[in-house]
Amino acid sequence: MNEKDRERERAEKMKALRRELEEKLEDQLPAEMLEGKPEVEVRKIREGEELEPGKAKRIIEALLFASTKPITVNEIRKVMKALSPKDISNTILELKQEYEREPRSFEVVEIANGFEVRTKKDYAPWIMKIELQKKVRQVTQSALETLAILAYKQPITRPEIEELRGVDVSGVLTTLMERGLVKIVGKKEVAGRPFLYGTTDKFLEHFGLNRIEDLPPIEEIKNLVENSVNKDELLGTTKILDIPNEENTASESGEASPQGESLGPQEEDATVCEGQNESEPDTQEDR
């Protein structure tokens, strides 16, 4: 048996194993879960097939919606060979005008030598709000702190990050690497040659940056926080515990603390004792 036959035999065995596993899983699943089991039918398409203008328009629209990045006219033509580049461009223009005429929340834009469908800027606050909620769930405070240090100090080693944060970050780094935000960019030429870490293109995409130099300066962030956050509003004015004021207590008893200083525990005891001694002679005279 040659290598090709052995490869075919292995493929058949794997196919049979998959069928067996599917049957066992179906046997173990409850009947109600199998009733609405979705069935996906993938049919072949003829790339050179003549299409009605209306259907061709909706196919191009679907391609624009489904693409995760700007799609070019040439990329569309690879799956719609019956249309010329001019036909595709005109169809995209029709979709653009259609969205502009109707009250749609999205539009067709030309970007990076291609086209994409994106939501209009008017709806950004609502989208940003829900995206921020997702990010809060996805990234912990610890991960954000580590990521911020790494972004501004890269390339940087794990011990250097830990020195700045004061805690172990091995687990956090692993999580950031799994999410594709951080990668190993080399080794530092010191004893032990520890790994150097840096940010990825996904980091730039995630935070809307073209390059790492577009990060705002640290001083700018510091000034922004100091000028925008009001300490009283941040901490609140509601008292958690009703602690008596020393000056009010002293004024109620007819005494005042010297220079408005608060009394320590020992001084308070001494004051009480002195008050008691001074009152004793008056009590004896009254008697």
Residue 14 included in any domain:
no
Domain count, the chain: 2
Task: Please give the pLDDT value at position 227.
Answer: 63
Of 120, 147, 176, the domain-final residue: 120
Query: What CATH number has the domain bearing residue 173?
Result: 1.10.10.10
Residues 155 and 85 in one domain: no
Predicted confidence (pLDDT) per residue in 176-190, tens digit: 898 889 999 999 988
Q: Output DSSP code: residue 244.
A: P
Provide the pLDDT confidence category of residue 136 given band limits of 50, 70 and 90.
Answer: low
pLDDT digits (tens, 9 = 90+) for 142-171: 788 888 899 999 999 999 999 888 888 888
Shared domain check, 149 and 111: no
d(CA 223, CA 232): 18
Please give the Cα distance from 101 to 82 (Å, whole number).
28
Do 147 and 111 fall within a single domain? no
- Decide which of 204, 223, 242 is a domain's last residue: 223
pTM to 2 decimal places: 0.37
Q: Residue 208: which domain range?
A: 139-223
Both 150 and 114 in a single domain? no
Residue 125 covered by a domain: no
Give the mean pLDDT of 270-274. 43
Q: Are both 101 and 172 inside the same structural domain?
A: no
Angle among Cα 109, 69, 152 to the nearest 5 degrees reads: 105
**187 within domain boundaries:** yes
Residues 70 and 144 in one domain: no
For residue 272, tell me if it sits in a domain: no
